[in-house]
Amino acid sequence: MGIVLENTVLVPCAPSDFYTFCVEGRHHYNIPGYRSLAPDFVDCVQGKSWAETVETDTESIRYSYTLYPIADSTRVTIGVEIEPKGVSSFMARLKAAGYRKRETARLAAIKKNLEKNLVRNVIREVERENSRKVFPMRFGEESG
């Protein structure tokens, strides 16, 4: 029997944006310790939920994401099923607290990465808008 965990976080974007960030952009794996993992996405429901599986030498992991709109944010509930392999399976119960700590840190890193990308997108949009502005003065003219 593996280890089952559940965690919830509130993220400052619409469910469809979080879905795009994670499933289509796969940016949630751009965090320390996870960059080399290649998840298989399954059971995808655009903007609402998805699951992904990850296989490593020491464990099989299934993440289940469910998104709930809350005002201008999204409540993300993540269920995690960890099935240790080999020698790790004998110590699974002893390592449960470590797994919980790891998954809590992973969720915080995903949220931080998302917020950083949201800020970048806002800055890009402001820069794009500013570059479109037309100023009435021409080079060399004095203002009145």
pLDDT by residue (tens digit) across 4-33?
999 999 998 889 888 888 888 777 777 666
Task: Tell me which architecture the domain covering 3-131 has in CATH.
Answer: 2-Layer Sandwich (3.30)
Is residue 68 within 8 A of residue 15, CB to CB? The reply is yes
Collapsed DSSP state (helix, strand, coil) of residue 66? strand
Confidence at residue 123, expressed as pLDDT on a 0 to 100 scale:
65
The per-residue pLDDT for range 79-116, each reduced to its tens digit, is 999 888 887 677 777 778 888 888 888 888 888 888 88
d(CA 101, CA 82): 13
Residue with more model confidence, 121 or 112: 112
Q: Read off the amino acid at residue 91.
A: M
Check pLDDT > 80 for residue 3: yes
Global pTM exceeds 0.85 = no
Q: How wide is the angle at C-alpha 3 spanned by C-alphas 42 and 109, nearest 5°? A: 65
Is residue 21 within 8 A of residue 117, CB to CB? The reply is yes
Residue with more model confidence, 79 or 127: 79
Collapsed DSSP state (helix, strand, coil) of residue 140? coil
The tokens describing 89, both together, are 């399976």
